[in-house]
Chains A and B, each alone.
Chain A
Amino acid sequence: MNVQLPGAHRYIGERTPRKEDARLLTGRGQFADDVRLAGMLHIAFARSPVARGTITAIDSAAAREVPGVHAIYTQADFSGVALNVMNFFFGPCEAPVTILADGRVSCVGDPVAMVIADSRAIAEDAAALIEIEIDEEDPVITLADARGGAPVHPGKDDNIAQEMGDEDIDEDLQALLDGAAHTITRTIHHQRIAQSPMETRGCVATCDGSEEMTIWISCQSPHLVARYVSLAFNLPETAIRVIAKDVGGGFGLKNFPWREEVAVIAAARLFGRPIKWIEDRFESLTASSHAREQEVTLTIGFDADGKMVGGFGDYSSNNGAFPMGEDCNVAVHMFMWPAYKMPAYGFVSRGWYSNTMGLGGYRGPWAMESLIRETLLDDAAREIGIDPIEIRRKNLIYLTDQPNTTTFGIEVTDITPGECFDKLLANFDVPAFRKEQAESREQGRYLGLGLAAYVEPTAAAGQMAPMTGELATIRIEPTGKVTASLSTHSQGHGTATTMAQVIAERLGVNFEDVTIFEGDSAIGGFSPGAAGSRQAVIAGGAAWTATDMLADKVKEIAAHLYNANAETITIEGGMVHIEGTPEMSHSLREIAEIAYGEPARLPGNTGAGLEAQFRYQPPPFTFTSAAHACVVEVDADTGFVKIQRWISSEDCGTVINPGVVEGQIAGGLAQAIGQVLLEDMPYDARGNPLAATFKDYLMPTISDVPDFEYVHANTPSQTIGGMRGVGEGGAIIGPPTLVNAIADALQPFGQIDLLELPLTPSRILDIVESRDVSGDAAKRAKTEAEAPAEEATAEVASSSGETSIDGAWNMTMKTPAGPQEMVGHFATDGGNVTGKFTSDQGDQEFEGTVEGSRVKFNLDVEQPMKITLKYDLLFEGDGVSGKAKMGMFGSAKTSGTRA
Chain B
Amino acid sequence: MKPAPFDYVAPTSIDEALSALADAGGGATILAGGQTLMPLLNLRMSQPFIIIDINRIAELKGVTRASGGTRVGPVTRQADALADATLAQHVPVMVEALSHVGHYQTRNRGTVGGSVSLGEPAAEMPATAVALGATIEIRSSKGTRQVPADEFYLGPYMTVLEPDELVTGIIYPDWADGHVTLFREVAQRPGDFALVGMVGALELSGGTVSRSGIAWLGMGPTPIKARQAEAALLGKSLDAIDPLAIAELAVADTAPFDDHHASSEYRRTVGRRIFTRTLREALGLKEAA
Contacts and interface: CB of A to CB of B under 8 A. Distances in A.
* B partners with A: yes
Interface of A: 119-121, 124-125, 128, 280-282, 637-640, 678, 680, 682, 690-691, 693, 695-696, 698, 701, 703-704, 760-762, 765, 769, 772-775
Contacts of B2: 119-121, 124
Interface in B224-276: 258-266, 269-270, 273-274
B142 interface: no
A20 to B, nearest CB: 26
Given A128-B44, A773-B269, A704 B189 contact: yes
Contact of A765 (B4, B264, B266): B266
Contact of B269 (A640, A693, A769): A769
Nearest to B191: A701
Nearest to B3: A121
A760 B262 contact: yes
Contacts of B269: 765, 769, 773
A678 B265 contact: no
A698 B189 contact: yes
Nearest to A758: B260
Given A128-B4, A281-B1, A774-B266, A691 B273 contact: no
Contacts of A760: 260-262
Given A637-B270, A762-B266, A773-B269, A701 B190 contact: yes
Contacts of B5: 121, 125
B260 A280 contact: no
B270 A761 contact: yes
Given A125-B4, A639-B266, A775 B258 contact: yes
Contacts of A761: 186, 188, 195, 262, 266, 270
A680 B277 CA distance: 30
A264 B2 CA distance: 19
A638 B270 contact: yes
Contacts of B263: 762, 773-775
16 contacts: A120-B2, A124-B2, A128-B44, A282-B43, A638-B273, A638-B274, A639-B266, A678-B188, A696-B260, A698-B261, A761-B195, A761-B262, A762-B265, A765-B269, A773-B269, A775-B265
Nearest to B258: A775
Given A637-B273, A695-B39, 12 more contacts: A121-B5, A124-B2, A125-B4, A282-B43, A637-B270, A680-B260, A701-B190, A760-B260, A760-B262, A773-B269, A774-B265, A774-B266
Nearest to B268: A773
Contact of B189 (A639, A703, A765, A773): A703
A518 to B, nearest CB: 31
Nearest to A701: B189
Contact of B39 (A124, A638, A693, A703): A693
Contacts of B262: 760-762
Contact of B190 (A703, A765, A774, A775): A703
Contacts of A120: 2
A762 B265 CA distance: 8
Nearest to B277: A637
A696 B2 CA distance: 19
Contact of B1 (A282, A703, A704, A762): A282
Contacts of B258: 775
Interface string B26-39: 00000000000001
Contacts of B261: 696, 698, 760
A840 to B, nearest CB: 51
A198 B43 CA distance: 18
A41 to B, nearest CB: 15
* Residue of B3, B186, B192, B262 most packed against chain A (CB within 10 A): B262
Contacts of B193: 695
Nearest to B261: A760
Nearest to B5: A125
B235 to A, nearest CB: 30
B186 A640 contact: yes
A469 B192 CA distance: 45
Contacts of A125: 4-5
B197 to A, nearest CB: 11
A775 B262 CA distance: 9
Interface in B24-60: 39, 43-44
A39 to B, nearest CB: 21
A125 B6 CA distance: 12
Contacts of B265: 762, 772-775
Contacts of B277: 637
A690 B260 CA distance: 8
Nearest to A768: B269
A678 B189 CA distance: 9
B208 to A, nearest CB: 29
B1 A280 contact: yes
A682 B4 contact: no
B35 to A, nearest CB: 12
A638 B258 CA distance: 16
B47 to A, nearest CB: 9
A803 to B, nearest CB: 55
B266 A682 contact: no
Of A120, A280, A760, A769, which is in contact with the most chain B CB atoms at under 10 Å from its CB? A760
Given A704-B189, A775-B265, A693 B43 contact: yes
A46 to B, nearest CB: 13
A774 B263 CA distance: 5
Contacts of A682: 260
Contacts of B44: 124, 128
B270 to A, nearest CB: 5
Contacts of A701: 189-190
Nearest to A279: B1
Contacts of A640: 186
B1 A698 contact: no
Contacts of A704: 189
Give the most central of A125, A680, A691: most B CB within 10 Å: A125
B222 to A, nearest CB: 19
Contacts of A772: 265
A242 to B, nearest CB: 26
Nearest to B187: A640
Contacts of B259: 690
Residue picked from B189, B190, B266, B270, most chain A C-beta under 10 Å: B266
B275 to A, nearest CB: 12
Nearest to B273: A637
A639 B195 CA distance: 12
B289 to A, nearest CB: 14
A522 B43 CA distance: 39
A128 B3 CA distance: 11
Contacts of A775: 258, 263-265
A704 B5 CA distance: 38
A688 to B, nearest CB: 12
Contacts of B3: 121
A759 B195 CA distance: 15
Contacts of B270: 637-639, 761, 765
Contacts of B190: 701, 703
A698 B273 contact: no
A882 B240 CA distance: 77
Nearest to A775: B263
8 nearest interchain CB pairs?
A121-B2, A280-B1, A762-B266, A775-B263, A762-B263, A682-B260, A637-B273, A774-B263
A823 B47 CA distance: 66
